[in-house]
Amino acid sequence: MTGRWKNDRQDERRELHQHVFMVSAGLVGVCLTVLGITKAVVRLKAIRNFSQDLLAVDALLFLVACLLAYLSLRLVGTWATWAGRISDTLFLLGLSVMTVVCALIAWVTV
């Protein structure tokens, strides 16, 4: 790769990791808010406990993704690349878990 294309790709990754950093931090708050809401909305205790456990794990996934995205912005070289990749993976896993919890709450509260 030439220098210009490599710099463009690095800029794109940096911008992506900035977005992951900001959105993950916000989604930690969303998980905590939904934890409180499930106490009022979900009446089945087993489903409520399961969804709350998933949301707690989800909040941790987003928190670790946020921290790794921050590290990928601060570090250089191979460490930055690995932190960014793991951050992306945890972010997508967190979104998947959040979707499962939303579906669970939607189907149970009907």
Separation between Cα atoms, residue 57 and residue 3, nearest integer Å: 41
pLDDT in tens, the chain (110 residues): 555 666 777 888 889 999 999 999 999 999 999 988 888 888 888 888 999 999 999 999 999 999 999 999 999 889 999 999 999 999 999 999 999 999 988 887 75
Structure tokens at 36: 């409180």
* One-letter amino acid for residue 4 of the chain: R
This prediction has a pTM of 0.86
